[in-house]
Chain A
Amino acid sequence: MLRPAVRGLVLLVVCVCLSLFAPSRAAAEDDAQAVFAMAADSILQIRVVETSSGAKALIGSGFFVGPAGRVVTNYHVVSKLAHDPGRYRIECARHDGTTFAATIDAIDVVHDLALLRSGQTGAPALPLVETALRQGARLYSLGHPHDLGLTIVEGTFNGRLDHSLYDKIHFTGSINPGMSGGPALTAGGEVAGVNVRTAGNQVSFLVPVDRVRALLEVVSAPAFAPPADFLPEIRRQLLANQDAYFAALLAAPLPTSEIAPFTLPGRIAPFVRCWADAERGDGLAHESVDHTCSTDDYVFIGSDQVSGILEYQHHVVTSQKLNRFQFFQLYSDLFAEPYGAFTSSEDEVTPFRCESSLVHHDATELKAVTCLRAYKKLPDLYDFVLRAAVVGRPDAGVESSLALSGVTVENAKRLARRYLEAISWAR
């Protein structure tokens, strides 16, 4: 029980603290209200409607940009239309409930953007931010989460992702389904990025506005006409994307790192993130060290196909306690565990086909397997898996696997060669 005098003092301190914070919170509330009032008329709900039933197949958000009444949204919001234009149409709904139709003008499948043509010339467009933002800058993300009506979410700008293969802004704030394609605005009402994805717990991602500018440039070219079929365009962009990152990847021999008793591919590109773990203990008859590396991000192609992932792992296993047959049974079981984050449907890709062989290189014997499957609607693009196990010793082995999605066979072959060359017994 506190004495009354002390209790009074505590109350006083609390009141002083609250009064110190009150003005800034009020300012933030004012900002949010001002941003909402300023932008509400420019922000749309994007509905992808199934033509025959007239029912909504998918909803997202979008906003007017530029003078010609063009609408920016995410590619993944309108991807159904890009794949099957005969079956779907796009309906845009303003904050006041009025609706109008739109068609796709251009897409950037790698950065998940689409530019729609609406014919709403003179619509209130949002300006794109011109200056670089500083970490901690307040941003307001707007959109239609879960079809609940236009919503504003406050958060902070936390810079561009350093390690991502696909350029993204890290936004600390809650982006929820339905807000995809909506803008994240500065306090001045300028677009800083386009809502695209969330990793949960306020970790969200935005597409930087330079990508929107690049798309606007594409459609403002004098000879521009939207393609009748977007699949060739999706294919072209995916091929160009993988060519670009493979050129960087293959510019020099792969860096290696030593995980005794092996030398193995290390962190082969700045855009992969690596993790390691080890298992040792008296209860175990073997010791193992895991090393996994992967891109953080992926490219959304359609509702049942993602691509653009590069991942690899090393699983080094040694044992002093097991005899050679027992050790190789353990080793075979490790080699049999599936590898690769592949999630496409039978409509999009063929089944995998594999070849296996014993490979000899640099005093190292490998059992190597490659598997391939083709993208049915996007010629020259494949998913690829390389699995290699160093054999020849009765008490040590490494199972090393590489998985690539959405690559050409030529690039897969080049990387597979470099990857296998980087695997050997440590000197």
Chain B
Amino acid sequence: MGAVTWLEILDRRERVAQRVRLDRLPIEIGRGYACDVILDDSHVSARHLRLALDPDTGGVLAEDLGSTNGLHRLDPEAARVARVALAPGTRLRIGRTIVRACGPATEVAPAVRERRDADRRRLLASPALAVPVIAAAVGLLFGMRYLASYEATAVADSLHGSVLMLAPVAAWTVAWALVSRMVAQRWLLLAHAANACAFLAAFLLVGAASEYGTFLLSSQRAVAIAGWTALGALVAALLNAHVALVSSRPRSQRWLAGGALAIALVATSAYLVHWEDGRFSNRARYPAVLKPVPGRWLGGESIDDFVAGIDGVKREVDALVDDQG
């Protein structure tokens, strides 16, 4: 057991609010201006606690000065005490404040490794990476639009459609560049454009994957959940990437904010789509997606199994009658 040389004053969440070096004793702790250590805690008395040298042991002794709410030892078990001898690691509570005794041997957590965010940001802002990302996304968009148009004017149609989709991407990029200029005094237009384009490309690929899922799988609920989750992750990544260019907030905070916003956006969209599906219509809504998968790769169920599945749909609509009846 070593000597007690420092006191940590912890707030209610046990974060260190203040450190006091014990280079002279006795000292008094309380809310009053006559004290050596002043605490802003309304549950602490004006003169609350006194620390003095124990003449018998040579250690530090903490003593209640007749406070309103008393002195509480927290270890080994919580108890109200009049006085207590301190050793490194001993924790006391006065009012809502925790006081921890520390010595030279008290252990501290290892250092957090420095992040190289700044390097990454510079990488994204460099044309060597941004330009290929933008070109790949625009190429992907054009290609997918071309493969999705079947009129005689396929090329013109897909160009037209691609431009229509690129307009909001451009507007988004410019908006973020403006934010950059205001917050970080730099436009970073190329980096924001690369972010938006990377998102667009990922969005197109997730959309295509979800269409194939819709075609191949029977459980549309699973496909929808996977699709919305992927979209949420993409939106969180997009927001995080933009904020990383603009602010120097720690990564955890950025992901937290981006994630929360993404969840809110995706949940709202999913709710709106679900609400639209739930509205009464004389038109049956179903996933009308067909994909060019070779027949030998498709494992379908038998007609009997499929027809037997109609009973499940019957139970579903019968439940609707009961709900509304």
Contact = CB atoms under 8 A, between A and B. Distances in A.
A326 B149 contact: yes
Contacts of B283: 338, 342, 352
A313 to B, nearest CB: 15
Contacts of B150: 285-286, 319, 322, 326-327, 329-330
A87 interface: no
A368 interface: yes
A328 B307 CA distance: 26
B306 A374 contact: no
B290 A332 contact: yes
A31 interface: no
A397 B290 contact: yes
Interface in B293-325: 293-296, 298-304, 306-307, 309-314, 316-318, 320-321, 324-325
Interface string A69-99: 0000000000000000000000000000000
A351 B320 contact: yes
B285 A372 contact: no
A344 interface: yes
B287 interface: yes
Given A323-B147, A344-B282, A389-B290, A366 B310 contact: no
Given A325-B292, A353-B320, A392-B298, A283 B314 contact: no
Interface stretch (A20-28, A155-163, A240-248, A414-422): A414-422
B317 A335 contact: no
A140 B283 CA distance: 42
A327 B150 CA distance: 7
A385 interface: yes
Interface string A302-333: 00000000000000000100111111111110
A283 B152 contact: yes
Q: Label chain A's interface by main secondary structure.
A: mixed
Interface string A341-363: 01110100011111111111100
A350 B21 CA distance: 76
Contacts of A369: 286-288
B278 interface: yes
B215 interface: yes
Nearest to B291: A328
Interface string A380-414: 00100101010111100100000000000100110
Nearest to B312: A355
Contact of A352 (B281, B311, B314): B281
B275 interface: no
A278 B303 CA distance: 30
Contacts of A336: 288
A356 B213 CA distance: 12
B314 A409 contact: yes
Nearest to A322: B150
Contacts of A267: none
Contacts of A374: 314, 317-318, 320-321
Contacts of A356: 218, 220, 286-287
A171 B23 CA distance: 117
A321 to B, nearest CB: 9
B312 A359 contact: no
Contacts of B281: 351-352
Contacts of B287: 356, 369
B112 interface: no
Contacts of A322: 150
Q: Which of B282, B290, B298, B304 has the most CB of A within 10 A?
A: B290
A421 B303 contact: yes
Given A285-B150, A326-B147, A367-B215, A393 B306 contact: no
Contacts of B278: 351
Contacts of B149: 326, 329
B148 interface: yes
B303 A417 contact: yes
B108 interface: no
Interface residues of A, number: 64
B220 to A, nearest CB: 7
Contacts of B284: 338, 340, 352, 354, 371, 373, 385
Interface in B169-185: none
Contacts of A357: 218, 300-301, 306, 309
Contacts of A365: 295, 298, 300
B286 A358 contact: no
B34 interface: no
Nearest to B211: A332
Contacts of A361: 300, 302-303
A119 B320 CA distance: 43
A42 B306 CA distance: 57
B154 interface: yes
B313 to A, nearest CB: 5
B65 interface: no
Contacts of B74: none
A288 B309 CA distance: 31
A284 interface: yes
Nearest to A393: B295
B111 interface: no
B325 A376 contact: yes
Nearest to A369: B286
Contact of A359 (B215, B296, B302, B320): B302
B317 A360 contact: no
A326 B154 contact: yes
A359 B148 contact: no
Contacts of A351: 278-281, 320
Sorted nearest first, the 8 A-B pairs with minimum C-beta distance are A392-B295, A360-B300, A336-B288, A371-B284, A325-B147, A358-B300, A324-B292, A352-B284
Interface of B: 147-152, 154, 215-216, 218, 220, 278-296, 298-304, 306-307, 309-314, 316-318, 320-321, 324-325
6 contacts: A319-B150, A360-B298, A370-B306, A370-B309, A374-B318, A387-B288
Interface of A: 283-286, 319, 322-332, 335-336, 338, 340, 342-344, 346, 350-361, 365-374, 376, 379, 382, 385, 387, 389, 391-394, 397, 409, 412-413, 416-417, 420-421
Given A327-B150, A352-B317, 14 more contacts: A285-B150, A285-B151, A323-B147, A325-B148, A332-B289, A338-B284, A342-B283, A352-B284, A354-B284, A356-B286, A357-B218, A357-B301, A382-B317, A413-B307
